[in-house]
């Protein structure tokens, strides 16, 4: 008599198949759980509209340090940056008189005052600064990166599953983003009047490096908001004067 191995029959084959399928499914789930979670950009970012408007028009100020390198030559120094009502003012001073430049940018013109090249003007701040340091500076994007934002995309800090290069660790803090070939990383977030903002930003592209360390943020009240409050107070005062006294 020939004895049949129960695992060799139809039922045995089905059991083996189910076991393999179960193992593969569990392996796939474990691999998915180990993958880093990417929070990516989406066009609907109404929560950040006010922040982007503040970035582009001001008012805001920062004080910190700027370091730049092309892989062979590097420089660092103090940084002052102010933006208000379309006027962009940036000043950089290297220690021991090694270099100093001041940039003033308006919608109509840009002027650069350099200790190396003197006074220059152009329609493009990016071109002026790139000529000053000798390599392409991502000027158009840097002011957005300072706030943990992208120049070309918007996304909600609450996060969304889409297809861009933004890695987010909390609702208000991103680890990194990629834009125009630059890899931008963030750390050392601190609380400000506009929420938690990065205080250390490092941008890399090939041999080029731009590092910004922000020691102080300042967000003045916009002049229009001050005028509105003054008008409200004046109107309220006038209405109180016009009201008849009780008992007259």
- The answer to whether residue 43 is domain-embedded is no
Q: CB under 8 Å to 54, separation ≥6 — which residues? A: 60, 194, 219
Q: What is the distance between the alpha carbons of residues 86 and 164, in angstroms, rounded to a whole number?
A: 30
Of 167, 145, 154, the residue nearest 212 (C-alpha): 145
pLDDT, residue 71, reads 92
Contact 216, 63 (CB under 8 A): yes
Count of domains observed in the chain: 1
- The answer to whether residue 37 is domain-embedded is no
Cα angle 217, 220, 226; round to 5: 165
- The answer to whether residue 206 is domain-embedded is yes
- The answer to whether residue 64 is domain-embedded is yes
- The answer to whether residue 30 is domain-embedded is no
Q: What is the distance between the alpha carbons of residues 197 and 139, in angstroms, rounded to a whole number?
A: 19
Question: Which pTM does this prediction carry?
Answer: 0.66
pLDDT, residue 233, reads 55
pLDDT, residue 5, reads 52
pLDDT, residue 238, reads 62
- The answer to whether residue 96 is domain-embedded is yes
Of 55, 72, 77, the residue nearest 211 (C-alpha): 77
pLDDT, residue 15, reads 57
Domain that holds residue 135: 57-220
Contact 117, 124 (CB under 8 A): no
SS3 63: strand
Per residue in 141-174, pLDDT tens? 999 999 999 988 765 444 433 334 555 555 467 8
- The answer to whether residue 52 is domain-embedded is no
Per residue in 185-216, pLDDT tens? 998 898 898 888 999 999 999 999 999 999 99
Query: At 156, which CATH number?
Result: 2.50.20.10
pLDDT, residue 159, reads 41
pLDDT, residue 144, reads 94
Of 3, 46, 15, the residue nearest 154 (C-alpha): 46
- The answer to whether residue 210 is domain-embedded is yes
pLDDT, residue 248, reads 46
Q: CB under 8 Å to 30, separation ≥6 — which residues? A: none
Helices (H) and strands (E) in the chain, counts: 5, 11
pLDDT, residue 156, reads 44
Which regions in the chain score pLDDT beneath 70?
Answer: 1-48, 97, 154-172, 222-248
Contact 104, 110 (CB under 8 A): yes
**Residue 38 to residues 2, 82, 130, 182: CA-CA distances in angstroms?**
59, 32, 32, 18
């Amino acid at each position: 008599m020939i004895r049949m191995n129960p695992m060799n029959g139809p039922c045995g084959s089905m059991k083996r198949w189910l076991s393999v399928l179960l193992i593969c499914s569990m392996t796939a789930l474990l691999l998915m759980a180990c993958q880093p979670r990417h929070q990516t950009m989406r066009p609907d970012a109404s929560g950040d509209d006010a922040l982007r408007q503040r970035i582009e028009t001001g008012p805001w100020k920062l004080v910190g340090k700027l370091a730049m390198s092309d892989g062979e030559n590097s420089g660092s120094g103090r940084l002052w940056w102010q933006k208000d009502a379309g006027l962009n003012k940036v000043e950089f001073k290297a220690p021991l008189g090694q270099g100093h430049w001041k940039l003033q940018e308006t919608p109509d013109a840009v002027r650069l005052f350099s200790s190396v090249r003197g006074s220059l003007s152009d329609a493009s701040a990016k071109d002026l600064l790139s000529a000053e340091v000798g390599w392409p500076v991502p000027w158009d994007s840097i002011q957005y990166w300072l706030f943990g934002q992208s120049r070309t995309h918007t996304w909600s800090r609450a996060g969304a599953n889409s297809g861009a290069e933004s890695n987010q660790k909390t609702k208000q803090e991103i680890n990194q983003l990629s834009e125009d070939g630059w890899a931008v990383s963030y750390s050392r977030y601190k609380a400000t009047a506009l929420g938690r903002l990065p205080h250390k930003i490092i941008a890399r592209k090939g041999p080029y490096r731009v590092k910004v360390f922000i020691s102080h943020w300042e967000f003045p009240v916009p002049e229009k908001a001050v005028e509105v409050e003054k008008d409200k107070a004046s109107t309220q005062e006038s209405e109180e004067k016009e009201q008849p006294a009780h008992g007259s």
